[in-house]
Homo-oligomer: A and B are copies of this chain.
Amino acid sequence: MDMKVIIDTIWVLVTAKLVFFMNLGFAMVESGFARAKNCVNILSKNFVVFAVSSLGFLFLGWGLMFGDGNPFVGLKGLFFVSGLDNSPAVGEAYKGVYSAISWTGVPLWAKFFFQLVFCGTAATIVSGAVAERIKYKSFILFSFIMTMFIYPIIGHWVWGGGWLAQKGMFDFAGSTVVHSVGGWAALAGVLLLGPRFGKYSNGRINPIPGHNLSLATLGTFVLWFGWFGFNPGSTMMADPQAISHVVVTTNMAAAAAILSAIMVSWILLGKPDLGMTLNGCLAGLVAITAPCAFVSVGSSIIIGLIAGILVVLAVIGFDKLKIDDPVGALSVHLVNGVFGTLCVGLFAQDKIAGVATGDGLFYGGGLKLFLAQLTGVISVAVYTFIVSLIAWAILKTVMGIRVSLQEEIEGLDIGEHGNAAYPEFLERKPTYSFLGLKE
């Protein structure tokens, strides 16, 4: 057996496992940032979403994304990854219907698993933004739609040899394909759901503190760890220079974003808020996801610094707009997914880690790359937002997407699951309603 295939398969599988592990990270961040009375519900959503993704992506998602077809959608080998394929053969030797991903010399199931964990990430992003009020059933159904009809189409455009790839748009590990897709789908949901009860009442913004910052911190560390699979794994082959480069740009962006988020919140809010610090880290990671292999370590620090500032402003901004996102998913994944994608057009340095992207605006490449990135950002926004809005609207009409007010007040744990997350601990029940006497 070819050594290169073995090594690449190990790399792809090990990094895919780390990305899988990010499901734990999301579960802990989201439940930690929400109230105890909705904890079981959030845990359940984050748990079931990867099961749904697994089946949805196997059934149809993979085929639409990587099947040979037209620039907009895959058409061959649609169902159950059952098209002809002789992976790990590459290049000329490859015979099969998934040619868009035939450049990486690993077995078909390794490709599938790696792509699946990315699909799962896009789906799980939605969960946090719609938390504390969405019906469990409706969330499960939306996740099927997401992993079968929304994510794979965008994926086809960018990573499946579709029209955006042909336009010269670059998204190394998915600032757009994964994060902003998740973000736009979430935004559509949030708008149709409306804010949580009591969040914007009497003309005030009432903060609703999360119940467990230990869990949220734990989750953020796990996500940071998982990102060391997400970004360097996206080489899908063990190219030593590239993966080493990507590990460092990824880490530096996170580090810089943490420090800038701390500074900004210290200045704007008077104290270094831990929630903002954690969001800052994630913002840096999301922002560097597209450019991680195309920019220098120095640029990664700048990108991180800006991401950390952006996320703090975005969290405050969304609240001003009365767009209620309990965990900051929009500020992290949508805002910084867009920002990171555009950064490729600004900071890219041709072949810095091997890929011929051409130079970005700041490195003398002119607007060409930037415009390709912008096209990507806009078209993805339009498609994802509209399709998601329609999907949410249909769910809303057919079965409802929001729990009853009574259930929301008592907590979704009892209403949706009949469980309590912490049955033995005495909780300060009224906290959420008693807060909010703003300075």
Closest Cβ of chain B to A223, distance in Å, is: 11
Contact B240 A44 (CB under 8 A): no
Closest Cβ of chain B to A274, distance in Å, is: 5
Contact A431 B427 (CB under 8 A): no
Given contacts A54-B252, A247-B113, A417-B272, contact A40 B213 (CB under 8 A): yes
Contact A423 B428 (CB under 8 A): yes
9-residue interface stretch from A45-53, A185-193, A376-384? A45-53
Interface string of A232-268 (1 = CB under 8 A from B): 1000001111011101100110111011001000000
Contact B238 A9 (CB under 8 A): yes
Q: Which residues of B contact A241 (CB under 8 A)?
A: 107, 109
**What's the Cα separation between A222 and B221 when bound, in Å?**
12
Contact B258 A214 (CB under 8 A): no
Q: Which among B225, B255, B421 is the interface contact of A54 at CB below 8 angstroms?
A: B255
Contact A417 B106 (CB under 8 A): no
Q: Judge if A399 is at the interface, Cβ distance under 8 Å.
A: no
Q: Judge if A403 is at the interface, Cβ distance under 8 Å.
A: no
Contact B218 A113 (CB under 8 A): no
**Which of A106-121 touch B at CB < 8 Å?**
106-110, 112-113, 116
9-residue interface stretch from A15-23, A91-99, A363-371? A15-23
Q: Which residues of B contact A31 (CB under 8 A)?
A: 214, 217
Contact B213 A43 (CB under 8 A): yes
Closest Cβ of chain B to A258, distance in Å, is: 4
Q: Which residues of B contact A1 (CB under 8 A)?
A: 239-240
9-residue interface stretch from A275-283, A311-319, A320-328, A340-348? A275-283
Interface string of A385-429 (1 = CB under 8 A from B): 000000000000000000000000000000011111111111110
Copies of this chain in the oligomer: 3
Closest Cβ of chain B to A232, distance in Å, is: 7
**What's the Cα separation between A102 and B215 when bound, in Å?**
41
Q: Which residue of B lies closest to A117 (CB)?
A: B251
**What's the Cα separation between A224 and B269 when bound, in Å?**
38
**What's the Cα separation between A269 and B416 when bound, in Å?**
12
Contact A248 B424 (CB under 8 A): no
Given contacts A3-B3, A212-B421, A426-B426, contact A106 B244 (CB under 8 A): yes
Q: Judge if A351 is at the interface, Cβ distance under 8 Å.
A: no
Q: Which residues of B contact A134 (CB under 8 A)?
A: none
Contact B58 A297 (CB under 8 A): yes
Closest Cβ of chain B to A225, distance in Å, is: 5
Q: Which residues of B contact A210 (CB under 8 A)?
A: 423
Q: Which among B11, B209, B225, B232 is the interface contact of A20 at CB below 8 angstroms?
A: B225
Given contacts A240-B5, A417-B271, A422-B212, contact A109 B247 (CB under 8 A): yes
**What's the Cα separation between A18 and B269 when bound, in Å?**
35
Q: Which residues of B contact A27 (CB under 8 A)?
A: 217-218, 221
Q: Which residues of B contact A431 (CB under 8 A)?
A: 423-424
Q: Judge if A55 is at the interface, Cβ distance under 8 Å.
A: yes
Q: Which residues of B contact A277 (CB under 8 A)?
A: 44, 47-48
**What's the Cα separation between A108 and B51 when bound, in Å?**
38
Q: Which residues of B contact A252 (CB under 8 A)?
A: 54-55, 58
Q: Judge if A10 is at the interface, Cβ distance under 8 Å.
A: yes
Closest Cβ of chain B to A71, distance in Å, is: 29
Q: Judge if A329 is at the interface, Cβ distance under 8 Å.
A: no
Contact B222 A417 (CB under 8 A): no
Contact A10 B13 (CB under 8 A): no
Q: Apart from A28-B214, A214-B215, what 13 extra A-B contacts exist at CB < 8 Å? A: A7-B7, A13-B243, A13-B244, A20-B224, A47-B258, A47-B274, A48-B258, A48-B277, A50-B255, A54-B255, A80-B298, A81-B297, A211-B424
A-B contact pairs, 9 of them (CB 8 A): A10-B11, A24-B221, A40-B213, A43-B214, A47-B278, A48-B277, A51-B254, A80-B298, A109-B241
